[in-house]
């Protein structure tokens, strides 16, 4: 009988703990929703919500991801490659100056 | 090692100039000089590569952006001979350690005064180095402006 009562008490206690934890979790998510979020421009989703469907799907709106999300190390490497390519193009111009060589294109992805 | 700054000098003259210098080892990633610092020494690159960079604001952070790289035989830090004697770039050893010969301005000017013929050749060589930098960057500037114009008029 004592063991039964002990088990019952522990069960009630466990349920109470779970309820408190659930309440705390949902409260914190609500309050975090209320915090100020950065205003991101809304754009239409580039990818349809469903695959393999010919039916028109109302395009949901999602926050735009800026193209500047490239890691800064990658960006700095792109700049360095761009400068190296531009220097090479400038060297060609200096060796044999023509107007066309001032406007020649490089393969630099930084400007293409 | 043939140094661009010593082109046209006789072997004894070149040895005399080189004797004015002190060899420096620059560990990889360590700066040889930084933008704005007083420039009282000119450097001849002996080994490794020296990256020249300028600070740019990239995403709100100051980053050293690559400008040019100097190889063995090339000259770095000619601001030491040009007023106001302040470095206008930051120089850092590239991936591997570099070795440079540091030539103090005062020692060089003293040598030029005592050996005007050799000093004249070195001054001409320096003009070639500076002129090349000028031509290179004015060309790059025009190309960037051209691209900006094309983007604006598109």
Using the beta-carbon criterion (under 8 Å), do B58 and A91 form an inter-chain contact? no
Q: Which residues of B touch A93 (CB under 8 A)?
A: 139
Residue A2's pLDDT band (boundaries 50, 70, 90)?
Answer: low
| Nearest-angstrom CA–CA distance, B76 and A97 | 26
pLDDT score at A12: 62
Share of chain A above pLDDT 70, in %: 38
Residues of A with CB under 8 A from a CB of B: 68, 72, 75-76, 79-80, 83-84, 86-87, 89-91, 93-94, 102-103, 111
Q: Does the pLDDT of residue B51 top 60, yes or no?
A: yes
Owner of token pair 């500037």: B141
Q: Measured in whole angstroms, how far is the alpha carbon of residue B126 from the centre of its chain?
A: 10
**What CATH number did the domain enclosing B28 receive?**
2.60.120.10
Q: Which of B59, B132, B137 sits opposite A72 (nearest CB)?
A: B59
B130 touching A, CB under 8 A?
no
Mean pLDDT of B105-133: 97
In chain B, how many domains are there? 1
**Once rounded to an integer, what is the mean pLDDT over residues B33-60?**
96
- How large is the average pLDDT for residues B101-129? 98
Q: Assign A1 a pLDDT band (cuts: 50, 70, 90).
A: low
pLDDT computed for residue B132 by the predictor: 95
φ/ψ of residue A95, rounded to 5: -65, -35
Please say if the pLDDT value at position A22 is more than 60. no
Residues of chain A found within 8 Å of residue B130, distances taken between Cβ atoms? none
CB contact under 8 A, B143 and A91: no
What percentage of chain B reaches a pLDDT higher than 70? 100
Residues 6+ apart with CB under 8 A from A90: B135, B136, B137, B139, B140, B143
Considering only alpha carbons, which residue of chain A is nearest residue B147? A103
| B133-144 core/surface letters (b: 16 or more CB in 10 A; e: else) | eeebeebbeebe
Q: What is the pTM for the complete model shown? A: 0.70
pLDDT at A62 over 80: no
CB contacts of B146 in chain A (<8 Å) are 102-103
Determine the average pLDDT of the residues in A28-49.
43
What are the structural domain ranges in chain A? Answer: 1-31, 69-112
- State how far the Cα of A13 lies from the Cα of B122, in Å rounded to an integer: 90
Lowest-pLDDT choice from A2-11, A78-87, B112-121: A2-11
How far, in Å, CA of B141 to CA of A55, rounded? 52
Q: Is the predicted ipTM greater than 0.90, yes or no?
A: no
Compute the average pLDDT of residues B12-37: 97
Residue B131 sits at the chain A interface (C-beta within 8 Å): no
pLDDT tens per residue across span B77-111: 999 999 999 999 999 999 899 999 999 999 999 99
Q: CB B67 to CB A89 under 8 A?
A: no
Tell me which residue range forms the domain holding B140.
Answer: 4-153
Residue A54 has pLDDT above 80, yes or no: no
| Cβ within 8 Å, pair A103-B59 | no
Q: Which residue of A has its CA nearest to B59?
A: A72
* pLDDT on residue A111: 72
Weakest-pLDDT range from A36-40, B26-30, B134-138: A36-40
Nearest-by-CA chain A residue for B149: A103
């Amino acid at each position: 009988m004592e063991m039964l009562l002990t088990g019952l008490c522990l069960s009630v206690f466990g349920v109470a703990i779970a309820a408190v934890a659930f309440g705390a979790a949902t409260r914190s998510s609500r309050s975090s929703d209320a915090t100020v979020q950065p205003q991101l421009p809304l754009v239409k989703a580039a990818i349809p919500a469903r695959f393999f469907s010919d039916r028109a799907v109302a395009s949901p709106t999602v926050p735009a991801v800026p193209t500047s999300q490239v890691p800064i190390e990658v960006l700095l490497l792109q700049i360095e490659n761009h400068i190296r390519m531009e220097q090479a193009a400038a060297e060609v111009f200096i060796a044999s100056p023509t107007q066309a060589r001032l406007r020649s294109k490089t393969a630099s992805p930084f400007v293409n | 090692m043939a140094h661009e700054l010593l082109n046209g000098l006789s072997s004894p003259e070149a040895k005399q100039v080189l004797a004015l210098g002190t060899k420096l080892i620059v560990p990889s990633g360590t700066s040889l000089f930084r933008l704005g610092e007083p420039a009282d020494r000119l450097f001849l690159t002996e080994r490794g590569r020296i990256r020249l960079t300028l600070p740019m604001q990239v995403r709100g952070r100051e980053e050293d952006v690559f400008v040019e790289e100097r190889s063995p035989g090339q000259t770095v830090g000619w601001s030491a001979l040009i007023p106001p004697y302040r470095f206008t770039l930051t120089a850092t050893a590239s991936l591997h350690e570099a070795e440079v010969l540091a030539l103090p301005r005062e020692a060089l000017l003293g040598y030029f005064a005592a050996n005007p013929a050799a000093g004249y050749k070195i001054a001409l060589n320096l003009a070639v180095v500076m002129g090349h930098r000028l031509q290179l960057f004015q060309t790059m500037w025009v190309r960037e402006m051209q691209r900006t114009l094309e983007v604006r008029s598109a």
